[in-house]
Structure 1
Amino acid sequence: MRQWISGWPVIRQITGDDPSGRGDAVRSAATERTAPRTARADKVTRSVCPYCAVGCGQKVFVEDGRVTQIEGDPDSPISRGRLCPKGSASKQLVTSPSRVTTVRYRRPHGTEWEDLDLGTAMEMIADRVIAARQRTWQQADDDGLTLRRTLGIASLGGATLDNEENYLMKKLYTALGAVQIENQARI
């Protein structure tokens, strides 16, 4: 009985050399056997949280090709290792069994979704962009003023795109003749 009681961390703290309870007094065999969830990761990839325009840094831990943990990146000058509740739940976004991982398409007036391969979906998008541009192209206005634009294409970019991605999006849509381009890069 005495040995069992002396094994309690609080008894070791009071009677031993660790009165603050921050060292050996609170360590047990179970504590020694534990390891961080991230210790077994095969690789760690730096990323950016996908939720808002702040751009908090994340470390993505991968084991056997699967994401096992996502934590704040302490080297990030923006978030310094901190994540909001949504950012902390990023792993659920990636690993949820209900996450859609295929291209889904519902035909006009259709009631059911169907899977498409990526190549087919990209061809459909390209064809529609070209058709919209041709159908809505304005070379000049009624007074003969040169416009060279389309109002049939617009872009509303995501807040999590970085400056380089926003730059490329702006170049693409400007080259297509679009004038309604918003990328939410207001910081």
Structure 2
Amino acid sequence: MKEVLDFESFNAQIVFANESQEEETFHQNELVQLFPYGLSVTTDAARPFLLFKDEGHQYTLPVAVSAIDAGVALSQSNRMILESSPHKFTGVLLSSLGIEIKQAVFVEIKGAHQYLRLYISGHPQTNSVKLRADEAMSLCLYLQVPLFATKSFIGRSRVMNAETEGAAQKLQNFGLMDKGSGYLN
């Protein structure tokens, strides 16, 4: 029998251990590839967060997103409904212009916001763009852009990580993390 989920126990606040003062520099071999793992549902509906884990489930990176972006990411991952996304036009436009987002790397923390750099090819004037992660996550997921972070960046997110590990376990106990639930790939 599955545990009844007490949504009051998800009183998570978005706090990072250490704020970055500037954008992190890295070498490609220092990056950990991250994959979508789940969506945290908290009592603070204004700031849910997506959970990303590396392939070996050794590292967890929580990414705060807006309620709208969380809903888009969740609906895009549900294979039980007809494929639909507000990002379809953006994907078609980028493709028709020959622009491809090659990878996204988490590079900075400012206050309660994480930033990532999107590395692109095919644009005549730029090869990367830095955006707040909450403004780009559902697009990255829709376009299946590989996501990366350094171990250092993941470590600086450890205060939030500790809070989300408990939430992830409760989600798994509730059945929302099951591959057959329609909520995850």
RCO (CA 8 Å, sep 6+): is it higher in 1 or 2? 2
- Normalized against structure 2, the TM-score is what? 0.23
Greater gyration radius: 1
